[in-house]
Amino acid sequence: MDVKRGRMGARENILARIRRAQGRSGGEPTAAETALVREAIARHEVGPQPPFAHAPDRLAQFRKECERLGTTHATIASRSEIPAEVSRYLAAGGLEKRLAGWHEFAGLDWAGAGIAFDNRPATGDDKTGLTGCFCAIAETGTVLLLSSPATPKVTALLPETHICVVGAARLVDTMEDSFALVRSEVGDPPRAVFFVSGPSRTADIEQTIVIGAHGPYRVHVIVVEP
């Protein structure tokens, strides 16, 4: 079979079948139909949202949802305190004081906190990964990571422990708010728009929840609240 030609035929046949079934003639959407669809899209209509998504204390709502998901959290007053908080967290969990982290944290005083910082994307061998985030969502206790050369997704995914730094000013109420932020600050979404809500889990054996399926066993969020 000539795969290429077969495929082109398939596209035309499917579109024509859709149009026939729905009582529209022709093989392709008309310019007017396309314009209507684009208009509907451009409205970016937001649906109803649960009342708790717009909590008076956004940070408290974020923390509450983090706890529900099994994400631990800490709050510090400035970025310079990150190494000390990471050190405290790793020591409390009996974890190795070595991590692979995003470039934005390379300039902090890691040696002073007794931590070996590898400024590179995490591999399958790293035990802890340190990332920032694009923003965080209070409604669900979620952090949102966008892929870019300086923000590799694997660092949040491959290690057993994921530590994520969230600037308090980057906390929004809802997922819709996060999309508006992506649109206004980045434009087109990058390759990966990655929402992380707590440690990896599965319930595939007897519906029993087990933490640490393929991704991290632990997610620790450090909120920087100046």
Partner 1 sequence: MQVQSMFFKQRASEKLGDALLQGNMKKAKGKFVDGRAKAVAEFGVWEEVRTHAAKVRDRALANLDAYLVEFERNATRRGAVVHWAETAEEACAIIADIAARNGVRKVTKSKSMVSEEVNLNERLEAAGVQVVETDLGEYILQLAHEPPSHIVAPAVHKSKEQVADLFQKAHGKPRLTEIPAMTREAREALRGHFLTADMGISGSNFVIAETGTTLTVTNEGNADMVTTIPRIHVVITGIEKVIGTMEDFATLIRLLPRSAVGQTIANYLTLTTGLRMPGDADGPEQMHIVLVDAGRTKLLGGPMQEMLRCIRCGACMNHCPVYQNIGGHAYGWVYPGPMGSILTPVYVGLENAGDLPNAATFCHECSVACPVKIPLPELMRKLREEQFDRKLRPWPERMAIAAWAFAVKRPALYAFLSAMGARVASWMGGSEGLIHSLPGLDGWTKGRDMPAPQGRTFREMYRQRTRERR
Cβ–Cβ < 8 Å for 122, 97: no
Give yes or no for residue 61 binding partner 1 (CB under 8 A): no
Task: Report in angstroms the alpha-carbon separations of 46 from 11, 15, 99, 170, 180.
Answer: 32, 29, 40, 20, 11
Cα four-point dihedral sign 123, 155, 220, 70? negative
Between residue 74 and residue 103, which ones bind partner 1 under the rule CB under 8 A? none
From 54-62, 72-80, 84-92, 188-196, span contacting partner 1 (CB under 8 A): 188-196
Show Cβ contacts of residue 30 under 8 Å, excluding neighbours closer than 6 positions: none
Between residue 16 and residue 35, which ones bind partner 1 under the rule CB under 8 A? 17-24, 28-29, 33-34
Give yes or no for residue 119 binding partner 1 (CB under 8 A): no
Of the residues 25, 38, 56, 226, which one makes contact with partner 1 according to CB under 8 A: 38
Closer Cβ to partner 1, 23 or 226, answer by number: 23
Of the residues 5, 41, 56, 226, which one makes contact with partner 1 according to CB under 8 A: 41
- Please give the Cα distance from 68 to 197 (Å, whole number): 10
Give yes or no for residue 186 binding partner 1 (CB under 8 A): no
Give yes or no for residue 112 binding partner 1 (CB under 8 A): no
